[in-house]
Structure formats: C-alpha cells, structure tokens
C-alpha cells in the first residue's frame, strides 16, 4: 500500500510571558497530521532560554512564524523529525491497524 500525502501543521496554542517586559518564556504548541481521511495530533510545551533584552522583539510584533522558528530551534531538527514521523506512523496505523481488540464469541 502506498503512503498517501500527509499534511503536517505546527500551531501555537499560547505563549507564557513576563507581563512587564513581554519576554516569552514558554511556548505551548500542537502538531497535527492529516492525510485527507485520518488525523493524528500531539501537544507539547517547551521553555525558552532568557532573551537578550537588547535584541528582544516587542511582544506585539512577534509573529506565529517567528515563534514556530524558535520552537523548532529549541527542539532541534531531530526532535522535530521524530514528532512528525510518530504522527505519520499513527496515520499508517489508522489506515492498516496492526492490533485489534475484542473476544471471538458473541
């Protein structure tokens, strides 16, 4: 069976920040995978290193793409690839289950 095209979407659920400075300290995120029929998802959060106050962007100017970039940098390429591979595996399992449950009698 061929593996259908899978779309993976990284999203930001919320940001925890220092109210007085706007420094983002924690990113809460979701990752969704779908192939047109099946869906799988994951949720996580990760703390960020302290920002350099001299180069920190104002909170109101931070973009979703920028935060996803921070997230991917903090996780690292290998972890990002592992998350995406795990979601693709979940979709494969939904398409062709390797396990079943039940009893053989009525």
Query: pLDDT digits over 2-54, tens only?
Result: 557 999 999 999 999 999 999 999 999 999 999 999 999 999 999 999 999 88
In a domain, 105, yes or no: no
| Domain-located, residue 82 | yes
The continuous run of DSSP H or E covering 24 comes out as strand 24-34
Distance CA 65, CA 81 (A): 18
In the structure encoding, which two tokens stand for residue 62, read together? 């931070």
| Whole-number pLDDT of residue 106 | 82
> Does residue 47 form part of some domain?
yes
Does residue 29 form part of some domain? yes
Instruction: Look at the chain and report how many structural domains it folds into.
Output: 1
Give a yes or no: residue 63 inside a domain.
yes
Domain carrying residue 13: 7-95
Residue 56 falls within a domain, yes or no? Answer: yes
Q: What is the CA radius of gyration of the chain?
A: 19
For residues 21 and 57, the answer to whether their CB atoms sit within 8 Å is no
The answer as to whether 2 is a domain residue is no
The pLDDT of residue 18 is 95
Neighbours of 24 (CB within 10 A): 20
Tokens 């069976």 found at: 1
Report the chain's mean pLDDT, rounded to a whole number. 94
Instruction: Determine the Cα–Cα distance for residues 72 and 64; give it in Å rounded to an integer.
Output: 12
Is 102 inside any structural domain? Answer: no
Global pTM value: 0.87
């Amino acid at each position: 069976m061929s593996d259908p095209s899978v779309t993976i979407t990284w999203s930001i659920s919320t940001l925890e920040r220092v109210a007085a400075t706007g420094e983002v300290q924690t990113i809460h995120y979701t990752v969704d995978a779908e192939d047109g029929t099946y869906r799988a998802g994951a949720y996580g959060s990760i703390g960020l290193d302290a920002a350099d106050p001299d180069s920190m962007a104002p909170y109101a100017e931070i973009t979703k793409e920028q935060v996803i970039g921070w997230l991917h940098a903090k996780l690292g390429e290998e972890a990002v690839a592992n998350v995406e591979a795990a979601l693709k595996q979940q979709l494969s399992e939904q398409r062709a289950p390797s396990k079943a449950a039940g009893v053989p009698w009525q």
